[in-house]
Amino acid sequence: MVLVFALAAVLWGVGAAMKTPRRARWLMIGILYVLVLAVQIALPPDHPVRLATGESPAFWLILGGFAGLVVAYRFGLRRLRARAQDRETAAQPPAQAGAFTDTELNRYARHIVLREIGGPGQKALREARVLVVGAGGLGAPVLQYLAAAGVGTIGVIDDDVVENANLQRQVIHTDARIGTPKVFSAQTAMQAQNPFVTVRPYHRRLTPDIADTLIADYDIVIDGTDNFDTRYLVNAAAVRAGVPLISGALTQWEGQLSVFDPARNAPCYRCIFDKAPAPELAPSCAEAGVAGPLPGVVGSMMAIEAIKLITGAGAPLRGQMAIYDALYGENRTITLARRADCPDCGTAPMAGG
């Protein structure tokens, strides 16, 4: 029996040293438990392996039942918290209308004195509705700066929970909120930052059955996800809704972003990335690594693009892609063109056409 607990401790320690997610470490211990239980049931009572692992299956069955109760309790508690958060979100009042309070005027003063934004631009921010897909590396700074800027209604959709490995770069989350759904962790931070904004958390994966309805309810959609299936889904729904899509991507030391807006003659995401690359050519951050501050840089640039779109300030990155190389401190911008044969936007009308 002591041997089994020692093996479990070794598995956990090695996993921690290798920075393996907790979920994977618990899975390995679960596999060890199943193997031990199988040994207890299958081998004769006097077998040395059975004697070394506890002699009787009764103890392991009781331990497994107790662990099952703990897991069920935690799962039920998490579901109850999620429902409570959903009810709280549904009960939130809409973004405030009318004149700004003195507190808001003081809060947004540095925006209001910018001639490109001013009072009308800040009012447009308060009336805007922005959906952020993903509350991870890119989503974290986007959400923080949209909330700080006073965007009135911010939706965030993500089905993941906060893990220890996220905290190196996803600075909207904290160590105390490990295990909390990312959308609720982000909501807590955003409302602590700015109680004048409405945050709508959707703790679920964006799927084809909800994408069109959800995205059509917002003025802008920002994609901070790390997989091509979701990127293509968001792009297609944004094209159908006529909603501008701000999309960013990261790898190791480099980031890129663009505003995809075929309703205003700019290309869509699929115009540029027609097919997903082979997995070995586009490894995830977990596989290839990423410099911690890089998502903050690119995510902040994505938030700036959203503010420009809402207020009409400057020239958004429509038909252009900004590329930032953090390792060598280089920036470059390339021109993008819309494709007439694009399966997503090829049949969409062009402004003035």
Delimiting residues of CATH 3.40.50.720 domain(s) in the chain: 103-335
Question: At residue 202, does pLDDT exceed 90?
Answer: yes
State the average pLDDT over residues 45-73: 73
Question: At residue 75, does pLDDT exceed 50?
Answer: yes
- pLDDT of res. 95: 47
Distance CA 130, CA 294 (A): 23
Percent of the chain having pLDDT more than 90?
62
pLDDT in tens, 172-181: 999 999 999 9
Distance CA 305, CA 132 (A): 13
| DSSP annotation of 281 | G
Give residue 193's Cα distance to chain centre: 19
**Inter-axis angle of helices 208-216 and 228-241, nearest 10:** 40
State the average pLDDT over residues 127-152: 96
Distance CA 65, CA 283 (A): 39
Task: Supply the mean pLDDT for the chain.
Answer: 86
- The position carrying tokens 């965030």 is 156
**Window from 64-78, 115-129, 249-263, 302-316 with minimum mean pLDDT:** 64-78
The answer to whether the beta carbons of residues 346 and 270 sit under 8 Å apart is: no
The answer to whether the beta carbons of residues 199 and 191 sit under 8 Å apart is: yes
Interacting residues of 209 by C-beta distance below 8 A, sequence separation 6+: none
Question: At residue 50, does pLDDT exceed 70?
Answer: no
- pLDDT of res. 87: 60
Name which residue leads in pLDDT, 147 or 288.
Answer: 147
The pLDDT-based confidence of 55 (bands split at 50, 70, 90) is low
Angle, CA 25 vertex, CA 24 and CA 28 arms, to 5°: 90
The pLDDT-based confidence of 154 (bands split at 50, 70, 90) is very high
| Assessment of whether the complete model's pTM goes beyond 0.75 | no
Angle, CA 95 vertex, CA 91 and CA 96 arms, to 5°: 115
Q: How many CB atoms lie within 10 A of CB 67?
A: 14
Question: At residue 142, does pLDDT exceed 80?
Answer: yes
- pLDDT of res. 20: 67
The answer to whether the beta carbons of residues 285 and 137 sit under 8 Å apart is: yes
| DSSP annotation of 173 | S
Q: How many CB atoms lie within 10 A of CB 298?
A: 26
The CATH number fitting domain 103-335, selected from 3.30.565.10, 3.40.50.2300, 3.40.50.720, 3.30.465.10: 3.40.50.720
The pLDDT-based confidence of 31 (bands split at 50, 70, 90) is confident
